[in-house]
Every structure is written in C-alpha cells, then in structure tokens.
Structure 1
Amino acid sequence: MWRNYLTVGLRALTKNRVYAAINIVGLALGLAACVMILLYVRYEMTYDDWVPDADQVFQLQTNYKATAQGGEEMHLQVAAIAAGRALQKDYPDEVEKLVWVRGFAPIVIQDGQAGQIKELRMVDGNLFDILKMPFVRGSAASALPDSHSIALSETEAKKRFGNRDPIGQTLTIVDNMGDVDYKVTGVFKDWPKHSSFTADAVARFDLNTQFSDRPRDLTSWNNQQGWYYARLRSPKDAALINSRMDAWKKRNIPDEEVAGQKTNAGDVQDYRLVNIRDVHLGEAQRAPVTPGNDRFTVITFGVIALLILGIACVNFTNLTTARASQRAREVALRKVLGASRGQLLVQFLGESVLIAFVAMVLALAMVELLLPSFNAFLGSDIALHYVGRGGVILPLIGLVVLVGIVAGLYPAFYLARFEPAKILKANKSSADAQGSGRLRNILVVGQFAISIGLIICTAVIYSQTIYARTVDAGYRRDGLLQVGNLGYRGVDGRDQAVTEQIRRIPGVQAAARTQIAVDPDSNSITRVYFPGATQSVDLGDYSVEPGFFEAMGMKMLAGRAFSEAQGRDDVTTPPRSDPGREAALQALAQRGANVVVTMEAARRLGFKTAQDAIGKQFQGDMLPSEYGLLPVTIVGVVEDARFRSVREPLQPIIYTMRRNGFETIAVRFSGDPAAIRQQIETVWKRNIPQVPFQARFAQDIVREQYDREAARAQIFATFAALAVVIGCLGLFGLAAFTAERRTKEIGIRKVLGARTRDIVRLLVWQFTRPVIVANLIAWPVAWWVMRDWLNKFDTRIELTPTPFVVAGLIAFAIAIATVAAHAMRVARTNPIHALRYE
C-alpha cells in the first residue's frame, strides 16, 4: 500500500512539473528562511549557556529611577564598588564568590615597545572561579594567584609571543598607579562570540591600592565604574536576595546632607542580581561589556520566521486545492474500488510530507550556502549541527512532519470528500468539482497582508535610521575628528602642547580638549540646588576648554562662551597627588565659578528662555563633599547636543572650563579628511610616541551608533522581499491554473465581442482585489507595531501615511506584474482553440 502511495505521489508531481516546482521551491524558500531565523533566535536566546553552572552565575546591576527633579531612568550593568562589598558582607552564606571587574584598553609595554590590549579586564579576585573558561596553558584555579598576575586569551598570547611559551613572561601595564609589571600565569581559550562577557586579557589587582589616590570611589554609591560578577551557592539565593533589596539598601546606603537637605542614593537606585544568561537580552544595556540585543526584536524575528513559513504553507494549500479537480476522478475511482476516506487522507497527507521533505533538503542546501554570509553580516558564529549538542536533526524532522500536515491537511480533507457518483456522472467535467475558491482568496489576502506589513516595517525602520543619522544633533558632524587616548598616564600633561600644535595645522579651524564627545563611554551626573527650590535637579556635568563649542560647531543661544581672560571661568584644580590641591579646592569653593548650560538644562532649572538664565546663580555638587557645594553663575546658554543615540533621553548638561583631566580632543577641520588625520597623527607621534594614536571621524561614530538599526532594517528588507517572492510564486501558480481553467469562458467572451484589454482587466482584477483587502488588514497592524517601536526613541520620525501607501502600491504592482503575462497570453488566444478545448 505504501509503495503504491509513493508511486502515485511521484507520478502526480512529475505530471504537473510546473506546479510541483512552484510548490517545492516556495516551500523550500520558506523553510530556509525559517531555519536561518530560528537558528539566529536560538543563538541570541542561548547567550552564556556555555558557562559551566550558569544558573549560579549572576551580575549585580543598578537601576536609576526617573525622578520629577530631572533624573533620567537608567538601567546599568555596572555597580558601585560599595554595593558589591555590602552584598558580600550581608550575604556571606549565599554569595560564594564575588569579583569586581573594570574594563579598559591600556598601554602595554612589552620588550620596551608600547602597544595596546583592546579588551583588558582588571579584576580584584580570580574571575575564572566564576566564569570557568577552559585553559590551554595553566588552569582556571591557578590563573590569577596574586595582584600582579595576568592571563591572556589564546589569540592575544599568539599575537604577543608567537610560538613561545608565554607563561612566566612579563607585561608592563601603564595605569594611574604608574608602570606596573604583571606576570603571565595562564592562557585561556578565546571567549565565545555568544557571550555577554569578553576579554583579550584578565589581570588581577588590589582594589584598595588601585584607588589609593581616590579613596572616595570605594565608598561612594553614586560612582559606577565596573561590573560585579557573583557565584551563588544556590540559584534560589538570587530570588531571596532580590526580595530583600529594599531593606538591604536602607541598612547600607548612608544619608547625606547637602544644602540643608537630607538625601539618600537609595531613593533613586535599585539593585538586583541578574542571571548571566539574561544579561544579553536584559533591560540593562548601558555600559555593557559587549553590546546586547533587544528581546522584543529577537522574538519579532521568530514571529517573522513563522509568518514566512506560513506564507509558504499557504502556497501549498492554495495550489493543491486549486488543482484538486485534476485528481477528482482518481479519488472517485479509488472510492469505487473500496478505498476508505481515512486511507485517502493518509495518502494525500503522505504526499504533503514527501513534498515537505524534498523542500527541506533543498532548504538545508540553501542554509549551508548562505550561513557564512549571514554570520559575517551579523558578526556571529551561528553553526548548523545536525547531531550532538545543539543538533537540529530531530527538530527538522518534526518541522517537516508538521509543515507537511499543516500544509496538506485541508487539501487532504478537500480531496477525500469528493462523491464518486457526481464525479463519474456521464459528461460531468472534473472542472465542475472545483468549488468557489473563497478559501484561496482568503489565503492570498493573508499572504499579501504579511508581505505588505513587512514592507511597511522595513520602510519605517530605514526612515528612522536615516533620520537618526542625519537629524540636527546640536553640533556639526561633518568636518569633526575626535582624537582619544588622552586619559593614559603616558600622556603626562603633553596633551595641551599637542592640542596647540594641532591648531596650527593648515585646514584645522578649531581644536579643544573635552570630557564629553560623540558616543561617550562614561556618564557624569551632578546634583544642583537652585535658591528657593524645594528639590534638587540632576544634570550632566562635563568639563571642556575654551574653543570647545567652536570645535563642535555648537551655537550659543544667549550669553557668551568660556574665555581665558575671565578667571572665574576656570575651575582647574591640581591633580590628587599635588600638595597644593586642598588649598586650590578651598579657594574654588569660596569664589565660585562660571558655567555654560544647555537649553534643556535651563528648562530643568525653570527658565523659559535662554536669556532668562543668563546671570542666574545656583549651587552644584561638583566638589568633594568636605568642601561643600560650588556656587556657580550661568554666563552662557548653548543649544542642546545629542552626543548619545536617539534611543536615550537627551541629557541636560552643565559645562565647566578647566585645563586638565581630559579624554578627547575635538578637532574642527576643512579639506581632505585623510590628509588632516595623517598630519594630526604625525603631531601625536612626535609628542607622545609611547601612547597609540586613536582618532575617529564623528560621522563614522554616528553611523556605527545605528548599525544595529541598519542591520535590523536590512534583515527586515530581506525577509520582506522573500515573503513577496514566495507570495508571488503562489500567485503565479494560481494565475496559470485559473487562466487554463477559464479557457472556454474566455473563448466565449471573445466570440461575443470582448476585447483583449477587457479580458486582461477581468483576470487582473480577480487577483489584485485580494491585495486591496490585504492592505486594509496590514495597515492598522503595521501602524500599531511601528508606533510601539518608534516610542523607544527619544526623538523619532512621524508615522505618516507615506510608507503605508507606498507598500500598498508596491504589492499592487507586483501582483499585476505576476498575473499580467498569463492574462495577456490567454486574452490573445484564438477563440477557435478555446472552444475546441474539450
């Protein structure tokens, strides 16, 4: 029996090769897209699953609540040093191991040559007791035995030592404590790409020694400089600790009295332990070790995979039911010869599963060919393993059976219900058993509704990405170069001389050092107190030097910029190691300072216009607590500048002027960008040869800020196009079949005087009508989805009718183009041949 079913199924496919090819290719495209997307979804959902005992590994995160006084809501992966110490003190039985991690890219001296480690993690304990990486030399347990030991990744060790044994070798790291020697004690395998943590090297240091020049950072609850990773004795302990966080905050975070007001950092902060597997797609995406992703986006792609597969299944159902009449006599004869309805159902479902199997083989070939390019595009290492851990052979078999049954269930019931007496009646054409086609129209509507929705989403995402890259950011992106690496000890105060020499380069219009730049790594917030106000206001606090606003291309709205001729503008104080620092801080606290604020900061302070703010005074928490609040006067208001992504709220900022402690030089130039950069690099290497030169153009930085959105738009566009192609394959098959089925009708119409264009209009209208209905369904759904997506941006495009109308017209044009060729061919057929059809 099964052999007979297989033979009949293969004959049915070979007899109708065009329809079989459309069915198989359409289903294969849908399955290939589904498999690739689901591999991506599984890859994103299984970040950090490789970590041994991952259910016991947690990250301590900080959440800043939004306040009515101007504080922004922030979800941080980093935490204050004091928070981790308090956690370990209060929960010694639950916290088995706790390690603080600081990340930076230091200057490293090896054999007298200065270089840089891109991702060095400084830790105050053996991180490998928590994140148990496999080692190729040494072991995790003995990797970091003391505060002057360092472990390298396999790639970093190969880069630095070649084939030599790195164990016991010395690397000198330049940091705030001077040149410190570290001995290589281990080499670990490169960190997996699907990891929320990554490192080229991990070095152990003593936390108290490292912060001996700034001990306040060890006790401050408002200073988050690094990540805390914890290994708990039991996964259940995390829920216990998180449930007691409010009481823990009250017990550990001290009250502070500022400007006669009692404040507590715990009022605006929440802490929680987050399992490492939930970090990558978690809510906290500020200051991540590696860029995370959005859980909603990942789930959305999973839904798209199922929708595309659904479109492919709809094609199968459509074409099978449309051609059901071609097998009506076969069904009738089988029933006459004794076949039961159940046997017929099994036969046709078996044929569906067979087609799904052939399509899956073709789909897997596509996936194997496309996966390397897909990985290169995403920067991932998604692998397709059929057996073993992560093997997909069983899920794929299940998917084949499921698709075969889902796609073939209705056609099987439809075919099995034919009545032999009606089909075999004398002079009864098999075409008379075809039905109304209402279901086929409904399915076509569903196909094109999905396709139109994806086209709309693609257009909106692209538009928002372009808008974000080009919207007025409050500074000029073109002609702006950012030179970094000023914060390293090796610079030794020579950054001022470098800046002055850069200003003399032909084509350089302005250059200034700054603590804030495009896409900054850090976030500095200060609390200010306005006379007569009952609440403080949280504002960004960054220092710049004269010429900064000119270099950035920012417009003064009122007042003036900083001037070297105005002594009160300068808030420079000596470094921490300078014996005159205390006297300088006392003098600064007594005389006060002038500041420039952004328009948003002026609004937060209660001023309606920029001019209203000029000359007004308030106090800022900008000094160490022992020196009190700093009296400041607003001398200028500058337009708002959006240095961060438009996903984040616009930060209101206070600018102060100083001459040290900078991280970046902002350079405004005209002319050839490459030539300017080369000349600046020459100046740098002449003055600071031991520190690597680092410079990036602002336009490149902004483009990289939105790479994730751009990649998302490209993925949406790809799958939208694929959905349209699959839908058009089905429409092509239906059009061909309908044109063939209506040959006699068309012949009669032509004999009665119908013109070719009348026939074409009739056939085209039949298939474009469902597209119009599909628009009415897709538009409100796409509007709702895109509205929620756009609301995640602080500034965004307006959701106008344009992308909806354009998507509808594109779908309409594609539908017409798909069926027009058939319609034209049939309309031009000689009616004599049409009426001799039977």
Structure 2
Amino acid sequence: MWRNYWTVAVRALAKSRTYSIINIAGLAIGMAACVLILLYIRYERSYDRWLPDAANTYQFQTFGKNSDTGEPFAFQMASYVTESRIKKDFPQVEQAGYILSTGPVFLKDGQATSTEDYKYADNDFLKTVNLPLAAGTTLTAPQTAVITQEEAIKRYGTDQVVGRTLTIISKGIKRDFKISGVLKNLPKNSHLKINAILRLDFNAFFAEEPYFLTCWGCQSGWVYFKLKPGTDVNQLNSQLAAWEKRNIPDEYNGGIRFNQGDDQNWRFTNVQDVHLGEADDASMTPQNDRQTITTFAIIAILILGMAVVNFTNLATARASQRAREVALRKVLGATRRQLIVQFVGESILISATAMLLALALVELLVKPFAAFLDADLTLKYSGREGILLPAIGLTLLVGILSGLYPAFFLSRFQPAQVLKANRSAAETPGSGRLRTALVILQFAVSIGLIICTAVVYAQTVYARSVDPGYKRDHILQVDEMSRAQLWSKGEEIVNRMKRLPGVTAVGRTDIGISTDNNNNTGLIPPGSNKQVTIGQYSVDEGFFDAMGLTLKAGRWFDPNRPMDDMTVPYPEDLNAEKALAARGVNVVMNEYAIHKLGFKSPQDAIGKTVRSEIFAPDTGVTDIHIIGVVGDSRFRSVRTPIDPIMFRNVNAQPQVMIVRYNGDPATVRAAVEREWKQITNEVPFNAKFSEDIIAELYKAEDGRAQMFAAFALLAVVIGCLGLFGLAAFTAERRTKEIGIRKVLGARTRDIVRLLVWQFSRPVLIANVIAWPVAWWMMRDWLNNFDQRITLGPIPFLVAGGIALGIAIATVVGHAVKVARANPIHALRYE
C-alpha cells in the first residue's frame, strides 16, 4: 500500500511540474525564513548562559521614576556604595564585585593609543563573575590585570603575556599593572563587553573625589553578586525596600529634606536575563528587547503560513484532476481514512523536499545573515543546539497543516457523482470562496509588511534629517579632551585649532553629538521650594558658534565678565567652591528648561535667579542668574526626549571639542590631527564627522528597516507564486468559457480585464484588512520616538498600489495568452 502511495505521489508531482515547483519553492522560502529566525531567537536567548555558575550570578540594577516628570527609568548600573552594604546585610551573598567603565590611554614604547572596554575593579571581580581564563590567575592583588586573548595579541602580538607589565595613563598619571591572567575571548552573546580588567584601590583612586564612594544616587558602574546556591532571589528582592530605609541617609538640599533613594529602587537580576531585560545600558553592550524578538518570530510564522496557504489553495483548485482517482479508489474499497493518510503523506513528502531545499538556502544565507546582525550564528544539526529535530518537527507540522484540509476535501468526493456521465464533482460549494479568503489573507500580510517597511524607512530618514536645533553639518567632533594630560593645555589647543585654514569656530563641552553623558541637578524656581530636575553641562565661550546654536533672548557667555566663569580648581578645593556658591553664577538655559522652571517666555527668564546645589552637598546653595536663553537642541537620538539644559561656562575637563569648518573635510581633519600630535603624544587623536556619528546613532533603525524590507519581499514572492499558480489553473479551467465569449464578440482586452479583475478584487479587499492593522502597529512603534513622522495615507496607498501592480503583473501574462488563443481549439469537440 505504502509503495503504491509513494508511486502515485511522485507521478502526481512529476505530472504537474508547475504546481510542484510553486509549492516546493514557496514552502522552502517560508521554512528557510523560519529556520533563520529560529537561529536568531535561540542566539538572543542564549546570552550569558555559557557563563559558569550563571544561575547564581546576578547584576544589581537600578529602577525608579523621575520625580519631576514621572517617567520611569531602568539602569543596569548601580552606585558603588551598594556593593559593600548588600554584602554586609545579606548573608545569602557569597561574592560581590564592582567594575567601572573607563577608557585609559594605553602606553607602549612611548606611543599612546586609545582603549575600548577596559574596566576597573575594586577586588577580585572574577571570583564573582567566573569569566574563563586561558592562562594565569585571577586578580589576586591591586595593580594586577587580566586581558583577553584578542586584546593581548592586538597589544603585544601574542597571548603569552602573563607576567608582563601593562601601562596606562589615567587621570594624567602613568600606572603599571602586572598581567596576572589571560581571559578567553568573550563570545558575542554576552552582555559583558570587556577587553581588560584592571584591579585598583578605589579609596586611593577616588581620594580627590570621595563623594563617588558614598553617593547613593550615582550610577557609575556595574555591581555583581554571586548568591549561595538555593537562594530565593524573589524573597531577596522583597527585602530591599526595608534595606534602603536602613541604609540610605537623609540629606538637606536648600533647606529641603530629601532621601537619595526616594526616586529609585534596586533589584537582583540574573545575568542570563540582562540582555533581554528592562534595564538599558548601551555603554556595556547594545541590548535587544523581547518585543523585537517576538515581532520577528510572528513575521516568520506569517511568511510560512502564506506558503501553507499556497499549498492549500492549489491543492483544492486542482481537486478536479484527482477526483476520478479518489472515486476509483473508493470503488475498489479504499476507506476515507486511507485516502486522508495518502494525501497527508503526499503533503509531508512535498514538505520534506521543501525542507531539504530550505536547509540548503540556510547554509548559503546563514553567514551573511549573521554578519548583518553582528551575531555568532552557527548552523548545527546535532547536539543541544542542533536544528535537526526542530527541522523534522517543522517538516511534519507544515506537511500536516498543508495537507489536512485538502485531504479531507478530496476524500469526501462521492464516486457516483464523479463517475456519472464522466463528470467531476471537485468544485464543491464553498471551495472557491475559501481560496479567495486565503488569497486575501496572503496579500493582507504582504501589504502590511510593505507599509511597515515604508514607515520604518521614512522615520529613519526623518531622524537623520530633522532639525536638531543646531547646525549639524560641517562639524568635526574630537574626543579625549577630558584627559588630565590636557587640562592645562585646553586654551592652547583651542587657539591653535582656530588658526587652521578652513576652521571657523572651536568650542569645548561635555555634551556633544550623540552624547551618552547624563548630568542632572535640582533647581529651585523663584517663590518655590520644590526642585525641578535640569540637565547641567559645561561649555566654553566658543561652543555657541561652533555648535551653531540659536539665541532666543539675552546673551551668551563673555570671557570679559568674571561672573560668567564657573571654573574651579581641580583637585577639589572646598573653599573655592564655597566662594563660588556664595558669589553666585551666570548660566544660559534652553527654552525647555525655562518653561519647566515656570517662566512664560525666554524674555521673561532673563535676569531671573534660581537656586541650586551645584557641587557636593557641603558647599551650600548658590544663586544662579539666567543671562541667556537658546533654542532647544537635540543631542541624542530622536527616541529620547529633548533635555532641559543649563549650560555652565567651565573651562576645565571638557569631554569633547567641536570644530566647525568649511572646505574639504579630509583636509581639515588631517590638519587638526597634525596640530593635535604637536601638542601631545600622550593622548591619541580620536575624531569623527557629525555625519558619521549620526549614521552610527541610527544604525539599529537602518537594520530594522532592512529586515522589514527583506520580510516584505519574501511575503510578496510567496504571494505571487500562489497567485501565479491559481491564475494558470483558472485560465486553464475557463478556456471553453473564454472561447465562447470570443465567438460571441468579446475582444481580447475584455477577456484580459475580466481575468485581471477576478484577482484584483482580493487585493483590494486585503487593503481594507491590512491598513488598520498596520496603522495600529506603526502608531505604537512611532510613539517610541520623541520626534516622529506623521502617519499619513501615502505609505498605505503606495503599499496598496505596489501589491495591486504585482498581482496584475502576475496574472496578466496568463490572461493575455488565453485571450489571444483561437477559440476553435477550445470548442472543436463541443
């Protein structure tokens, strides 16, 4: 019996080659998309599961709400002081470790180069997070270091570096570390982004900034804990509220009592949940979110579903060709159950053939797909991460789902009706309506994906081109200005850069294009005791022209007015800070800041005084005089709301230098670099053009647009395959009808219009379904942006037009061929 089923199935496929190719190609594309997305989802969910003892390793994260706006925040970072207090108060903690992100200068043979992902640790961090060692030991003592194999080869040309000295410059001081161990290269599926860990005595390192060691409101590093096996982490998290009250002191700010922990809470989060968790921390590693993973999984399922729909549609459409076979089998004694098994078996055979082709496609596409995602995707067939069993399961699932309805449909034919007068009973009532409904569903998915692609692309273009509130073109942003080696050379650097040909303005600041700096303070408006959170950032007198800001009222900082200057000596001089606080200072704010402080207009704010605790808590409250108001500027992504900003004139420790230029960008950059290297050989030159910074800022959005475009293309291809098969079948079945119409005087264009309209109606109806769903999805997505495009009708009309055009182009060939055929060939036997 099975041999007979196999023979019949193979002959049926060979007889209807077009039908077979369409079905197998559609299923193969859908399956390949599913397998690739399966690999991607598995990779995203595998983050940090490779860590030894990952189940007991936790990151201490900070959560809360902005007291001013009520907006929630979630950080992977936590304050330094939490590490020791948690370890002291909770016996369930076995080990604790803290790492601080830093970018020291690497020094070798007198040459200074930049570093990436170098971390400072206060103790043997590797006892808390068990990163695998390739050689040597952990951080057993201060002034020791561990370095990854890749970083060792980059710096020394070999990974045999245990015992060698690693020299860096940090805070202007040259520091030597003995390399005690070499770490294995961390895989990409880790939230940890580390090239080296340097162990320091933090008490000595922060001797000039003691507030860092006791500040509860600071998020400046990452705290990790290893809990004892069997610890109930939910119970531990429930005890943190009481722990906060016991540990966090009350302080006074401008006569107002507040608690540094009032607006924030903490939580133990397992390292395996960090990557897809709530807390964001791009400075460690870019993370993903569960919604994105779910979205791509749903799209992959929809694409596979479209291929299954193709199979069902074509199988029911071709039922007339199998009707006599079914009737004869029933006459010879076949039961309906046997017929169902036969047709489902044929479907599984097609599904298996498609899966083999899909796996071949995956083999070809997995490397470029992984490169596009910047992920370590590997295709394995066996083992824990093998896809053989999932592939077999997917083959059976698709085969059964594809063949179940056609099997029930074909097996219910009545032999007497089929064989009587050699007539077919294949086209039972309702089957045509089902095919139409499935075609509508297919094109609704295709149209929806095209709309999503258009909206995501339009928003990405808008984000790059929207007015940021400053002149974003012709800017070279130079990093590394905060190095202690340059603190005494800041004015010299600016003056020498100004003299370069093509340079029109130079300014220094700690807020640049695509800044990751967050520095807030509480300001108390006139007549109020309530603090308003405002961002405070340092600039110099040249920043206004270099950035191209717009002055709305008042004036910018003037170097000839001492009250404009807020620079204080470093290291901290408490007497100087108190003198500055007693004297009062002048600041410039943006429009958003003055509105938050309650002023009606920029002119209304000029000359007004607000109060704030600018420095450490023990310097007292100072009067801040508003001398100018500038337009709002966007220094971050359009996803992030514009900051309310107070600019302070501080000519010390800026993070970046903004160079505005005219002329050839490469020539200007080369001239700036030459001048830089003449000034210092201890700080590497690191500069980017504003266009490159913005491109990198929206790289993720570009990737998402390309992913949607790829999925939309797949959906359209699969939909067209099904439509092509149905059009061919319909044209064949209606040959005699068309012949009669032509004999009765119908013209070719009338016939073509009739057939094209038959397949255009489902596409038009699909628009009615796809448009509201796509609008709802894209509205929610766009709401994640502070500035966004208007969701107008153009993407919907364009998507509908593209789908309709593709549908017409798919069927018009069959329509013209049939319409031009000589009717005598169709009617010669009538």
Residue type at the aligned position of 1:16 = S
Partner of 1:152: 147
Instruction: Identify unmatched segments of 5+ residues in structure 2.
Output: none
Structure 1: gaps spanning 5 or more residues:
none
Amino acid paired to 1:14: A
The equivalent residue for 2:87 is 88
The alignment's C-alpha RMSD in Å is 1.5
Which one-letter code corresponds to 1:56 in the other structure? N
Asked whether the 8 Å contact 1:104–1:121 carries over to 2, the reply is yes
Note the alpha carbon deviations across 1:568-604, whole angstroms, 9 max, x for none.
Answer: 0001101016xxx333222211111000001000000
Find the counterpart in structure 2 of residue 790 from structure 1. 782
Counterparts in 2 of 1:757 and 1:621: CA distance versus 1, 3 Å = same
Q: Deviations over 1:485-509 (max 9, x none)?
A: 1122333522321121111111111
| Structure 2 residue aligned with 1:5 | 5
Query: Out of 148, 162, 165, which is 1:170 matched to?
Result: 165
- 1:776 is the counterpart of 2:739: no
Take 2:230 and 2:647, find their aligned partners in 1: how far apart are those partners? 46
| Cα deviations by residue, 1:631-679 (Å, 9 ceiling, x for unpaired) | 1100000111111111122110100101111111011111111111110
Question: 2:647 and 2:820 mapped to 1: Cα distance?
Answer: 77
Describe the superposition over 1:231-274 as per-residue Cα deviations: whole angstroms up to 9, x where unpaired. Answer: 11146432122112222221111111112111112221121111
Cα deviation code 1:590-639 (max 9, x no counterpart): 11100000100000000121111100001122122211112110000011
Query: Which residue identity does 1:687 align to in structure 2?
Result: I
Distance 1:432 1:717, change over 3 A: closer
| Residue-by-residue CA offset, 1:761-781 (whole Å, 9 max, x unaligned) | 111111111111111111111
Are the structure 2 counterparts of residues 214 and 287 from structure 1 closer, same or farther at C-alpha, using a change threshold of 3 Å?
Answer: farther
Q: Which moved more, 1:217-226 or 1:355-364?
A: 217-226
Number of residue pairs matched?
A: 830
Of 462, 472, 477, 2:457 maps to 462
Matched position secondary structure for 1:426: helix
Which residue of structure 1 lines up, in the alignment, with residue 124 of structure 2?
126
* Residues 156, 506 of structure 1: alpha-carbon distance in 2 compared, 3 angstrom cutoff: same
Give the corresponding residue for 2:253.
258
2:689 aligned partner: 697
Aligned-residue identity in percent? 53
2:415 paired with 1:420: yes
* Inter-partner Cα distance in structure 1 for 2:427 and 2:73: 67
Distance 2:176 2:460 in 1: 46
CA distance in 2, matches of 1:743, 1:70: 70
User: Whole-Å Cα distance in 1 between the matches of residues 404 and 19 of structure 2?
Assistant: 18
CA distance, structure 2, for counterparts of residue 694 and residue 107 of structure 1: 12
* More moved, 777-786 vs 70-79: 70-79
Say yes or no: does 1:513 pair with 2:511. no
Q: Aligned pair 1:103/2:95, yes or no?
A: no
Q: Distance in 2 between matches of 1:184 and 1:9?
A: 68
Q: Is the 8 A contact 1:122 1:205 kept in 2?
A: yes
1:17 deviates by: 0.6
- 1:43-122 matches, cutoff 5 A: 43-67=43-67, 69-70=68-69, 72-91=71-90, 93-122=91-120
Q: Does 1:193 align with 2:188?
A: yes
> What is the CA distance between 1:311 and its match in structure 2?
0.4
User: Aligned partners of 1:72 and 1:699: how far apart in 2?
Assistant: 31
| Residues 71/479 of structure 1: CA separation in 2 closer, same or farther (3 Å cut) | farther
Query: In 2, are the aligned partners of 1:110 and 1:170 still within 8 Å (CA)?
Result: no
In structure 1, the residue matched to 2:133 is: 135
The CA deviation at 1:104 is 2.0
Kept after mapping to 2: 8 A contact 1:198/1:290: yes
Distance in 2, matches of 1:354 and 1:425, equals 32
Change (3 A) 1:288 1:64: farther
Q: Are residue 274 (structure 1) and residue 269 (structure 2) matched? A: yes
Equivalents in 1 of 2:114, 2:657: separation in Å? 20
Q: Is the 8 A contact 1:70 1:604 kept in 2?
A: no
Match of 1:206 in 2: 201
* Alpha-carbon separation, structure 1, partners of 2:317 and 2:479: 66
Return the letter of the residue paired with 2:224.
Y
Q: Aligned with 1:224: secondary structure?
A: coil
How far the C-alpha of 1:758 sits from its partner, in A, is 1.1
Q: What SS is found at the alignment partner of 2:267?
A: strand
Paired residue secondary structure (1:827): helix
Alignment of 1:525 with 2:520, yes or no, is yes
Question: 1:558, 1:611 within 8 Å by CA — same for their partners in 2?
Answer: yes
SS of the residue aligned with 2:420? coil
Seen in structure 2, the aligned counterparts of structure 1 residues 700 and 228 have a Cα distance that, compared at 3 Å, is: same
1:304-315 alignment, distance < 5 Å: 304-315=299-310
Deviations 1:59-97 (A, max 9, x none): 111123033x34753221111112222222211x11111
- Secondary structure of the 1:214 match is coil
2:242 matches 1:244: no
Q: Where does 1:218-229 land on structure 2 (aligned, <5 Å)?
A: 218-229=213-224
Output the amino acid matched with 1:800: G
8 Å CA contact retained: 1:510, 1:669: yes
- Alpha-carbon distance in 1 for matches of 2:312, 2:473: 55
Match of 2:698 in 1: 706
Structure 1 equivalent of residue 825 of structure 2: 833
Instruction: State the AA in 1 paired with 2:60.
Output: L
User: Match for residue 589 of structure 1?
Assistant: 581
Select the residue among 389, 401, 408 that pairs with 1:406.
401
Q: How far does residue 430 in structure 1 lie from its aligned partner after superposition?
A: 6.2
Distance in structure 1 (CA, Å) of the matches to 2:358 and 2:669: 48
Equivalent of residue 753 in structure 2, options 758, 761, 771: 761
Corresponding position of 2:801:
809
How far, CA to CA, are the matches of 1:220 and 1:137 in structure 2?
37
TM-score (norm 2): 0.98
The 2-side partners of 1:710 and 1:429 are apart by 54
What code does the residue aligned with 2:641 have?
P
In the TM superposition, residue 162 of structure 1 has moved relative to its aligned partner by 2.1
In 2, Cα distance between equivalents of 1:333 and 1:153: 73
Per the alignment, residue 650 of structure 2 pairs with 658
Q: Distance in 1 between matches of 2:550 and 2:143?
A: 49
Q: 1:615 aligns with which of 597, 607, 611?
A: 607
State the Cα distance separating 1:804 from its structure 2 match. Answer: 1.0
Q: Would you say the 8 A contact 2:319–2:427 is kept in 1?
A: no
Residue in structure 2 matched with residue 566 of structure 1 by the alignment: 561
> For residues 764 and 453 of structure 2, what CA distance do their matches in structure 1 show?
20
Secondary structure of the corresponding residue to residue 166 of structure 2: strand
8 A Cα contact 1:771 1:812, kept in partner: yes
Match of 1:678 among 667, 670, 675: 670
Q: In the alignment, which of 743, 746, 751 is matched to residue 751 of structure 1?
A: 743
Contact 1:325 1:434 in 2 (8 A): no
Amino acid at match of 1:830: N
* Residue in structure 2 matched with residue 449 of structure 1 by the alignment: 444
SS for the counterpart of 2:232 is: helix
User: Structure 2 vs 1, CA of residues 9 and 434 (structure 1 numbering), >3 Å: closer, same or farther?
Assistant: farther
Letter in 1 for 2:20: A
Larger deviation, residues 123-132 vs 751-760: 123-132
Please tell me the residue identity of whatever aligns with 2:483. Y
Structure 1 counterpart SS, 2:488: coil
Q: Shift of the alpha carbon at 1:128?
A: 2.1
Per-residue CA deviation, residues 715-746 of structure 1 (Å, 9 max, x unaligned), is: 00011011000000000000000000110111
Provide the residue aligned with 1:497 in structure 2.
492
Aligned-partner Cα distance in 1 for 2:232–2:629: 51
Q: Is the CA contact 1:614–1:637 (under 8 Å) kept in the aligned structure 2? A: yes
Q: Secondary structure in 2 aligned to 1:133? A: coil
Instruction: Give, in whole Å, the separation in 1 of the partners of 2:132 and 2:213.
Output: 32
In structure 2, the CA distance between the partners of 1:446 and 1:164, relative to structure 1 (3 Å rule), is: closer
Separation of aligned partners in 1, 2:807 and 2:282 = 48
Kindly indicate whether the alpha-carbon contact (under 8 Å) linking 1:324 and 1:434 is maintained by their aligned counterparts in 2: no
1:694 shift after superposition: 0.3
CA distance in 2, matches of 1:237, 1:114: 48
Q: Contact 2:92–2:231 (CA<8 Å) still a contact in 1? A: no
What SS does the corresponding residue of 1:405 show, helix, strand or coil? helix
Distance change (3 Å), C-alpha of 1:260 and 1:583: closer
Q: Displacement, 1:403?
A: 0.3
